């Protein structure tokens, strides 16, 4: 049977590569658009350091990285990208932020591997390299099937991620019972969760059952009444899992509100999106037993250790992405006889990097992620 998808084991970074010298000793030029000044300069500086680690691992003097400062400004980003193009660069890693992509379609012969995880409304010459919502929902679908989850609701904040999550729902074809949109404002959030979980109806069920028993002649009715007085609600919940498309304190507000309405992880599955192993979840009571798709934790921990040993500081998450992207471009260059152009991304390939397995397709990088659970103040790998 003919294999239509060629699988390449991406070992540029994971293992040391030994290759012959390039024809005519030509440099392999990779542009790097990152913020080195301004509000987000620390992100850019961290990316520079991770790129340095990647270059040292590849260990080929003919690989040349050309960093340019975007200052997190779309106009400056276009100017610096144009300068790189005029210098012969055809592949650029960056920019970091989605807002800086808006003018880059003017450089149609350049491919940008942006670190953004947004997949909607991006130019055709941009490949979204971040861990997008579609990849995450596809991983959640796998978890649904393994646990025979049939009735999933999705909670999406009105203020953020709405368009991205809606597109991911469409592309992943995840089955949901219903999608709810909520206000992140804590003064409104609890009442919205009460309605979603039908809290007051389930609470009323307890009172109604107590009244029914009081009027009945049932055996042991006093014991049954006493037991009912110990619980807050009565009745089934209309869903068996909830996907919370949120992060940080907003995520914790949702899980706290669910617990308040007597909806707990013992009754339904709490699932969220990639949390980058946020350690604050480990000490948050409402976050225990919450599931999420993510990159490979062992590789992530190994990268953090290597980075810390080299620079005596800790990297940001985007550094981890950029580390893999250097190796990805270099490996594709090797496969393409070191002819660097946008054609190296046209053939469908699957790669294995530090992040895990990912595939370039339709101007996006689709990640095959692992799945984790917060349990007993630890991150437990499910698959």
What string of DSSP letters covers 296-358? -HHHHHHHHHHHHHHHSS---HHHHHHHHHHHHHHHHHHHTTT--SGGGGTS-EEEE-SS-EE
Residue 298 pLDDT class (50, 70, 90 cuts): very high
On whether the CB atoms of residues 103 and 95 are closer than 8 A, the answer is: no
Section 6-25 average pLDDT: 42
Residues 308/127/42/275 CA torsion (nearest 10 deg): -60
The two tokens of residue 191 are: 């009442």
Residues 277/182/145/128 CA torsion (nearest 10 deg): -60
Distance between CA atoms of 114 and 109, rounded to whole angstroms? 15
Distance between CA atoms of 107 and 364, rounded to whole angstroms? 18
Least confident of 18-32, 58-72, 212-226, 267-281: 18-32
Alpha helices (H) along 60-132:
74-86
| The pLDDT value given to residue 351 | 75
Q: How far is CA 216 from CA 212, 219, 224, 355, in A?
A: 6, 9, 12, 62
Distance between CA atoms of 136 and 243, rounded to whole angstroms? 11
Q: How many residues does the chain have?
A: 383
Q: Is 45 helix (H, G, I), strand (E, B) or coil?
A: helix
**In which residue ranges of the chain is CATH 3.40.50.2300 found?**
6-130+297-368, 134-295+372-381
Fold category of 6-130+297-368 in CATH: Rossmann fold (3.40.50)
Digit-coded pLDDT (tens) for 32-84: 999 999 999 999 999 999 999 999 999 888 889 999 999 999 999 999 999 99
Q: Report domain 134-295+372-381's class.
A: alpha beta
The whole-angstrom distance between residue 141's C-alpha and the CA centroid of its chain comes to 15
Section 328-333 average pLDDT: 82
| The pLDDT value given to residue 75 | 97
Cross-strand pairs, 378? 375
Whole-model pTM: value is 0.88
- Interacting residues of 285 by C-beta distance below 8 A, sequence separation 6+: none
| The pLDDT value given to residue 20 | 43
Section 342-361 average pLDDT: 76
Cross-strand pairs, 85? none
Digit-coded pLDDT (tens) for 99-142: 999 999 999 999 999 999 988 888 889 999 999 999 999 999 99
| The pLDDT value given to residue 15 | 35
pLDDT over threshold 60, residue 25: no
| The pLDDT value given to residue 322 | 94
Residue 363 pLDDT class (50, 70, 90 cuts): low
């Amino acid at each position: 049977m003919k294999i239509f998808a060629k699988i390449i084991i991406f070992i540029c970074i994971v293992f040391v590569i030994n290759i012959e010298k390039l024809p005519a000793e030509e440099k392999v030029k990779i542009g790097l658009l990152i913020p080195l000044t301004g509000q987000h300069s620390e992100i850019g500086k961290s990316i520079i350091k991770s790129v340095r680690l990647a270059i040292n691992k590849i260990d080929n003097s003919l690989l040349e990285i050309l960093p340019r400062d975007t200052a997190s400004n779309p106009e400056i980003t276009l100017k610096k990208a144009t300068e790189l193009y005029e210098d012969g660069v055809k592949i650029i890693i960056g920019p970091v932020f989605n807002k800086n992509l808006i003018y880059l379609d003017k450089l149609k012969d350049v491919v940008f591997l942006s670190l953004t995880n947004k997949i909607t409304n991006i130019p055709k010459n941009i490949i979204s390299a971040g861990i997008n919502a579609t990849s995450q929902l596809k991983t959640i679908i796998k978890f649904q099937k393994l646990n025979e989850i049939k009735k999933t609701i999705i909670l999406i904040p009105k203020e953020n991620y709405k368009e991205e999550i809606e597109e991911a729902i469409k592309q992943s074809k995840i089955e949901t019972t219903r999608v709810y949109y909520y206000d992140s404002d804590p003064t409104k959030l609890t009442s919205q969760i009460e309605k979603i979980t039908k809290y007051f109806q389930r609470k009323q069920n307890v009172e109604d059952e107590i009244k029914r028993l009081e009027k009945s002649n049932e055996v042991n009715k006093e014991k049954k009444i006493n037991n009912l007085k110990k619980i807050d609600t009565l009745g089934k919940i209309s869903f068996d899992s909830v996907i919370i498309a949120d992060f940080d304190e907003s995520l914790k507000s949702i899980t706290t509100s669910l617990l308040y309405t007597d909806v707990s992880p013992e009754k339904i599955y709490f699932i969220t999106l990639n949390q980058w192993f946020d350690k604050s979840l480990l000490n948050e009571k409402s976050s225990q037993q919450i599931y999420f798709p993510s990159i490979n934790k062992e590789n992530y921990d190994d990268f953090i250790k290597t980075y810390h040993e080299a620079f005596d500081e800790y990297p940001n998450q985007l550094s981890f992405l950029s580390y893999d992207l250097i190796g990805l471009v270099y490996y594709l260059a090797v496969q393409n006889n070191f002819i660097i152009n946008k054609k190296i991304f046209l053939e469908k390939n699957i790669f294995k990097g530090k992040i895990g397995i990912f595939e370039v397709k339709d101007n996006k990088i689709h990640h095959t992620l692992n799945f984790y659970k917060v349990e007993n103040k630890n991150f437990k790998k499910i698959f």
